[in-house]
Chain A
Amino acid sequence: MTNSPSPVVAVTNLSVDYHERRRWVNVVKNVSFWIEPGETLGLAGESGSGKTTTAYSLFAYRRPGSRIQSGTVEFEGEDLLALDEGRLRRLRGSRISMVPQNPSSSLTPSMRVGHQVVEVLEAHGVASNKREGETRTFELFDEVGLPQPRAMFQRYPHQLSGGQQQRVVIALALACRPTLLVLDEPTTALDVTTQARILRLLARLREEHGMAMLYVTHNLGVLAQICDRVAVMYAGELVETAPTAELFAHPRHPYTRGLIAAVPRLKEPPGGEVQLRGLLRRDELPPGCRFAPRCDFADPKCFTLPQKLTPAGDPYAVACWLWEDIASGRRTVAESSAGAA
């Protein structure tokens, strides 16, 4: 895996465990990736793939009951995971910002939305007094397309629509002009029309400000629209990274192939759909490739041989030792079904 000389953030061998009922369960395993300046990296996967946990790790945020077992998160020359609270606080919200999934529950109900923005401006010294903070907030509200910024300032979160709430959250995230924006499925909780509008807004803001983005989603359509590169996760591991167009045109990892193929196409005759087999069973993961139980191409060795993300032609990387055979057609579904679980 090659890094360009100075990526905005570089995650190396990140592993995170959750404490569930007296046991530690691994949810992210040896994940490594980087994001270039101005680039939008999509982090794709089903629920349970560990993508959200990975995203929050970029803030060195440890959910109560979780521990970061290993890894480094390099941002602007520092390993965030090794920083003290004080330094982290200065970075969060100002250099790295989050746009969370559920805008209605992410805004503090007891505080007016305007004050919630002023708060972050004052905390990071972007505004030195209330007046400055307010003015800046009106500008931000304008930028994110909120009508009547002055009136909006005084409102409480529950008085806003879903789309408006999400715009406020985006304004919050952009307030201090961060270098990196982390978005956790920002449009999932919204209706389709609003979704489209928010996506357009995000594209425009990216144009204007040039920040790097990590866009977490399970929605392939959104990925295609807004991401430059995509990293696909399955069961806590990264299985493939590739530029978006290439990923959709030539998926390499069996899981990615399954994902792409499962998207219904207009031109396909009915009955010809491909489905991903089975379900992710957390308690029955083999020591080798975690996707093996559901893989149509699996070889008995797959179950015991752990897969690592290996370059497959710069800048692609795949975590499947059989990918070339599959891609070239030397290995087909029929051939391996005898060995499949």
Chain B
Amino acid sequence: MRYVLRLVLPRVLLAIITLVVVSATIFWAVELLPGDAATRLLGQGATAERVTAMREVLKLDQPPLQRYVGWLSGFVRGDWGESLVSALPSSIASAGGRQSRPVADLVLPRLSNTMILAAAALILYVPLSLILGLVTAIYRDRKLVSWLSALVLVGTAIPEFVIGIVLLLVFSVTLQWFPPLSLIDDAQSFTQLLSMLVLPAVTLTLAMTAYAVRMMQTSVMAVMESDYVRLATLKGLSRRRVIWRHVLPNAIGPALRVTVLNLAWLIGGVVLVEVIFSFPGLGRQLIDSIKLLDTPVIEAIAMILAAVYIIANLGADLIAGFLNPRLRTG
């Protein structure tokens, strides 16, 4: 148990520190965004007094550090502030002023959409990459397999937004099997929802799979050429046994780690894919809110994405640590 703590604790601590540092960086970067939020909200024709009053409401007159701490503590507690741009319909807004929508209301639905997309991609990607990786590595002397490997190699180099566009062109525009815009919030039925998910999920899957297969291949090949697999073969064990008991357990570690790292990569990839397919997810919302300079929303989304990224990296690190028998047993 001691060893587990020694493995886990420092890494978790580092992750927390990183989160704090990243939050500060995000806040600082957002601070640099051009324009004054108060003026933006009230419009150009607002009087100076109203601007000053609004600045007080928005707490813009406080020193940055204080604002940062205020924001961070609020964020952790679940209070993500209110959007500067999105307003509730006037029928609900209180008289005499705009009622802004809480950021959480805007962000959470998008978050769940993105999570659905990510989940779909992962469900496809995990078995596909595992099987492909294993097969291409174990049977690499067959001609068909070496062509497959070459295809995979090429696949790793194609940028995901190119994959997305090509898929869009082929399956949506030409074949018209799937809708070009994945507006899943407006989906009328479950089937329609699914059909909207297909192209963006497949794009993500292809991008992740190519990369993971490469890693699996390398890992499995390294294991297959190891001294211990050689000895296992020379012990007269059946090929199946050698693969299942000697190759797989030692090759799968990197595969798991790659999967988790892919999760981290998803953060970047999902932004591009959402834009291409007009998917109503977190990534697209981030881009939109940056363009609209809606600072609280930017801060919230950036923090969420960064947190996922950091936690995913932490996970990968921990998995690598746990799979190393030296660390497990001391």
Contact = CB atoms under 8 A, between A and B. Distances in A.
Interface of A: 59, 61, 64, 85, 88-94, 97-98, 100, 102, 105-111, 119-120, 123-124, 156, 158-159, 169, 172
B325 A120 contact: no
B236 A120 contact: yes
A167 to B, nearest CB: 15
B326 interface: yes
Interface residues of B, number: 24
A181 to B, nearest CB: 12
Given A97-B234, A106-B230, 19 more contacts: A61-B234, A88-B236, A89-B238, A92-B234, A93-B236, A93-B237, A98-B234, A100-B230, A100-B231, A110-B325, A111-B245, A111-B249, A119-B235, A119-B241, A120-B236, A123-B235, A123-B236, A159-B329, A169-B231
B237 A120 contact: yes
Interface of B: 141, 225-239, 241, 245-246, 249-250, 325-326, 329
Contact of B234 (A59, A102, A107, A158): A59
A111 B248 CA distance: 12
Q: Is the interface of B mostly helix, strand, loop or mixed?
A: helix
Contacts of A88: 236
A111 B229 CA distance: 12
A110 B250 contact: yes
Contact of A109 (B225, B233, B234, B325): B325
A98 B141 CA distance: 26
A290 B187 CA distance: 79
Contact of A93 (B235, B326, B329): B235
B210 to A, nearest CB: 24
Contacts of B237: 89, 93, 119-120, 123
A169 B246 CA distance: 16
A172 B226 CA distance: 18
Contacts of B233: 61, 92
Contact of A172 (B235, B326, B329): B235
B227 A111 contact: no
B227 A158 contact: no
Nearest to A156: B325
